[in-house]
Amino acid sequence: MKRILFLAAVMSFLLVVSYATVALGMEISMVSFGATQNGTPVDKYILVNDQGSMAKFITLGGTLTEWYIPDKDGQFIDIVLGFDTVEDYDSPDNPYFGCITGRYANRIANGHFTIDERTYALAINNPPNSLHGGVRGFHRAVWQAIPVETPDGPAIRFNYLSHDGEEGYPGNLDITVTYTLTNDNELVIEYVATTDLPTVVNLTNHSYFNLSGASAGTILDHELMIAADHYTPVDDTLIPTGEIAPVAGTALDFTTTRTIGEMIDEFADPPFKGYDHNFVLNNQTGELALAARVHDPRSGLILETYTTEPGIQLYTGNWLDHKGKGGWYYGQFQGFCLETQHYPDSPNKPNFPSVILRPGEMYVTTTIYTVLAE
């Protein structure tokens, strides 16, 4: 009788697992991650490459929630900050952990821009400006997901149709973002978008990295190089003035590798409270090129960022005050972002590279995060 009950219990457990987990191949699996506040189901996709490195994504925001990489001692550590629950990711208090950010990443001054003599008004969610797509930007959308097995490694392809007028933006924008976890421990992010009306587009991923681990303290001792001789100075609401200024002689000079914390006190006061600056990358050709390199002496991990974009935003988690994964408290400087992008407020700065996308054109950009162990 006990054997029968045991076998029944095992069969019941396997049945539950079969409903909770959908295997999609040797390298890709999917589990339920709950539902949003309005009841939309959210799934989690798990990608594992040939080296055993693992990246996890949820359909809410097309978000990277975990990325496990072997450190210099061969121990796998999770190098991105995040939450344990769908409720936290769906909260207005979510500081954009790991998500696809858009329709326009970063800030647009006063929430206004003009195309072809027509002015559009956006949601003001970072007064007096619009930030990261508005109140319900792409980070609050549930994306359609398609798992893909490629010769380079497992991939997940996210698609979202942003309707005309969403958050004030014109045009139906059809976006596809593909994440590939390659067998060389690269996370390749490919963005493609098309529109049926002239609009503005600027997409990025907003992951917070800590190369010592997601619960390892601050990133101030991480050593950083940014391939940028110039940056875009801003006003007291973090809107660029339009000037392209040299980094030489300032606390923004990372052309030679130094720790993030060495001169961060130069920006200790609001509106910064740390680094929150757009760097004008030396490469402006649109070809893939090295943008930044970060080394953590503790874990021995090295993160290199390559991009086709003209800019990169260094943000050092200046306003973090959140309970994160495993109950760990994320405070100031416990993660850094390297957001590849066009410059903030480009729609209102004609001297900045254009962000206008028109019908018949295709928005295409690529960013690669490569992690190595010394």
Write the DSSP symbol of residue 126. B
311, burial (CB in 10 Å: exposed 0-12, middle 13-18, buried 19+): buried
Residue 111 φ/ψ, nearest 5 degrees: 65, 30
Write the DSSP symbol of residue 235. -
Instruction: Tell whether omega for the bond before 270 is within 30 degrees of 0, i.e. cis.
Output: no
Catalytic (active site) residue 166: no
The Cα-based distances of 87 to 28, 56, 64, 107, 322 in angstroms read 24, 17, 16, 26, 13
pLDDT at 183 over 50: yes
- Residue of 182, 292, 219 whose CA lies nearest to 190: 182
| Structure-token pair, residue 118 | 């027509």
Residue 19: pLDDT band with limits 50, 70, 90:
very low
Tell me the residue type at 258: R
From the candidates 27, 166, 167, 339, give the one annotated as an active-site residue: 339
pLDDT value for 251:
98
Give percent of the chain above pLDDT 90. Answer: 91
pLDDT at 57 over 90: yes
Contact 251, 268 (CB under 8 A): no
Mean pLDDT of all residues belonging to the chain: 93
Domains defined for the chain, CATH in brackets? 24-373 (2.70.98.10)
- Pairing outcome for strands 223-226 and 289-295: antiparallel
pLDDT at 6 over 70: no
pLDDT value for 374:
85
Q: Is 13 helix (H, G, I), strand (E, B) or coil?
A: helix
Residue 259 φ/ψ, nearest 5 degrees: -70, 150
69-97 pLDDT tens trace: 999 999 999 999 999 999 999 999 999 99
Catalytic (active site) residue 222: no
pLDDT value for 20:
38
Contact 300, 72 (CB under 8 A): yes
The count of C-alpha atoms lying within 13 angstroms of the C-alpha of 374, restricted to the half-sphere facing its C-beta, is 11
pLDDT at 37 over 50: yes
pLDDT value for 215:
86
DSSP secondary structure letters along 157-214: EEEEEE-TTGGG--S-EEEEEEEEE-TTSEEEEEEEEEESS-EE-B-EE-PPB-TT-T
330, burial (CB in 10 Å: exposed 0-12, middle 13-18, buried 19+): buried
Residue 216: pLDDT band with limits 50, 70, 90:
confident
What is the maximum span of the chain, computed from C-alpha positions, in angstroms? 80
Contact 8, 14 (CB under 8 A): no
Residue 299: pLDDT band with limits 50, 70, 90:
very high
Helix locations, the chain, DSSP H: 2-20, 86-89
- Residue of 242, 236, 239, 247 whose CA lies nearest to 269: 236
pLDDT at 293 over 90: yes
Q: Is 101 helix (H, G, I), strand (E, B) or coil?
A: strand
In angstroms, the CA 214 to CA 294 distance is: 16
Beta bridge partners of 290: 306
- Tell me what the mean pLDDT of segment 265-282 comes to: 96
> Which residues, including other chains, have CB under 8 Å from residue 277's CB and lie 6 or more apart?
231, 232, 234, 252, 313, 314
pLDDT value for 201:
98
Contact 80, 207 (CB under 8 A): yes
From the candidates 206, 230, 322, 342, give the one annotated as an active-site residue: 206
pLDDT value for 285:
96
- Tell me what the mean pLDDT of segment 360-365 comes to: 98
- Which sign, positive or negative, has the C-alpha torsion 180, 182, 187, 192? negative
- Residue of 212, 186, 191 whose CA lies nearest to 201: 191
